[in-house]
Amino acid sequence: MTIDKVDAVILEKLVDIPGVPGREECVADFIHSSLSSSCDCSLDNLGNLTVHIPGKGKRVMVVAHMDEVGLIVQRILPEGFLKVERLGGTSLRALPGSRLSLWSSKGCIPAVAGVLPQHLDNIEPISDFSKIYIDIASSSAEETRKMGVKPGDVLTWDSPLRFVGESLMCGKALDDRLGCYILMKLAKMLQPGELNCDLYLTFTVQEETMLMGGAPAVNSIEPEVIIGIDGTLAFDTPDLAGKQSDIRLGAGPAVKWMDAIRGKMAAFVPNQKLTNLVCETAQQNRIPLQDEIATGMSTAITPLVFCSKGARACALSVPIRYHHTPAETADVRDVENMVLLLRNLLMTDL
Ligand SMILES: [Zn+2]
């Protein structure tokens, strides 16, 4: 199985669209327009997009988030540079020297995050966030304003998707546009009545800032089961080998047993029976599956299980290297295996 197996054009477009938390409309529009016109789609007031595939059985919701990490313009400096704040957990390590896209009222402006020349490395250690500034090739605040830039405009990484080697892809926003892609594939492939459940595929908002943007959708659908689809940390690089877990690219999707951000009151422990069913389904269909027990991260599923009347929940993850940087890297085979696993799972009695 190689890159030919994925719909590369759809993936490239889906990843390229800017969609920071609270500004996901373009992503939702693209997903909506890519699905069949006969699809039963609805959008709620917060921007969550849901595709309903009716069937007999429990109300099951599968969720993936549309938003990506980014930056928001805070101040325009007299020399034309911009000071910014982070929208979500944008990697500080990856920022200095990176190319960005600034989305102003006049369109997209190429930008770069300033970085100290290597020759002056001895002046100060690696930046803290307060030292970050954005260069948009303007020489005054007035010129910057004339370019249409104002506080509240947002920036995303300028990093189009690239397919590399036999089966890898690299770019921005794989977290969690790969989840969105997986849901889009399911929406295209599953037929009403074919399933053992009444299925809702929901593309949610505001995960990277709040985790809980999908709450209104859960409250209105009142699912009995929720399945979360998101990225997880891969530990298959030289700096991380042997730490925390053995999750690696290409070894299959991961099934979550726990995640937590210590000290942030964000933690998820899935329903055990449901998670066992995921493992059995993978085994029966010879789909590779990795075990995920992750600290330092949490996903949308964490608050969503407490919405409405509560739901039994499990979560599946696509392993991704270099999370929240412009070089997020994942394996096409894990994405395809996730689609296969979910398709089989939705045929079982959840
Ligand atoms: Zn995510």
Give tens-digit pLDDT for 1-16. 456 667 899 999 999 9
Ligand 1 center from residue 184 Cα (angstroms): 16
User: Which of the residues 24, 68, 207, 336 is marked catalytic?
Assistant: 207
pLDDT of 138-182, one tens digit each?
999 999 999 999 999 999 999 999 999 999 999 999 999 999 999
Ligand 1 center from residue 337 Cα (angstroms): 18
What is the CATH number for 261? 3.40.630.10
User: Do 324 and 224 sit in the same domain of this protein?
Assistant: yes
Catalytic residue flag (residue 143): no
Number of domains making up the chain = 2
Show the domain range for 183.
3-68+172-345
Which of 157, 188, 219 represents a domain boundary (last residue)? 157
Nearest to 346 by CA among 122, 103, 62, 70: 62
pTM: 0.96
User: Do 84 and 187 sit in the same domain of this protein?
Assistant: no
Ligand 1 center from residue 117 Cα (angstroms): 33
User: Do 121 and 134 sit in the same domain of this protein?
Assistant: yes
- Please spell the DSSP secondary structure of 148-207, one letter per residue: T--TT-EEEE----EEETTTEEEES-HHHHHHHHHHHHHHHH--TTSSSEEEEEEEES-H
What is the token pair recorded at 289? Answer: 């599956």
pLDDT of 45-79, one tens digit each?
999 999 999 998 999 999 999 999 999 999 999 99
User: Do 31 and 75 sit in the same domain of this protein?
Assistant: no
Q: For residue 346, is pLDDT > 80?
A: yes
What is the CATH number for 86? 2.40.30.40
User: Do 86 and 61 sit in the same domain of this protein?
Assistant: no
User: Do 138 and 95 sit in the same domain of this protein?
Assistant: yes
User: Do 58 and 93 sit in the same domain of this protein?
Assistant: no
Mean pLDDT of the chain: 94
- Position 9 in a domain: yes
Residue 8 belongs to what H/E stretch? helix 8-16
Ligand 1 center from residue 65 Cα (angstroms): 7
pLDDT at position 1 is 45
Helices (H), 204-316: 207-210, 215-221, 272-284, 301-304
User: Do 59 and 183 sit in the same domain of this protein?
Assistant: yes
Which of 157, 189, 207 represents a domain boundary (last residue)? 157
User: Do 182 and 33 sit in the same domain of this protein?
Assistant: yes
Ligand 1 center from residue 207 Cα (angstroms): 7
20: pLDDT confidence band, cut at 50, 70 and 90? Answer: very high
User: Do 50 and 180 sit in the same domain of this protein?
Assistant: yes
Q: Mean of the pLDDT values across residues 275-284?
A: 97
Going from the C-alpha of 78 to that of each of 111, 138, 268, the distances in angstroms are 17, 10, 46
User: Do 210 and 285 sit in the same domain of this protein?
Assistant: yes
User: Do 273 and 149 sit in the same domain of this protein?
Assistant: no
pLDDT at position 3 is 62
Cα–Cα dist 308/304, whole Å: 9
pLDDT at position 248 is 97
Higher per-residue confidence, 336 vs 262: 336
- Position 291 in a domain: yes
* Minimum mean pLDDT range among 239-243, 316-320, 333-337: 239-243
Q: Say how far residue 231 (Cα) sits from the centre of its chain.
A: 6
Instruction: Calculate what percentage of the chain has a pLDDT beyond 70.
Output: 98
3-state secondary structure at position 3: helix
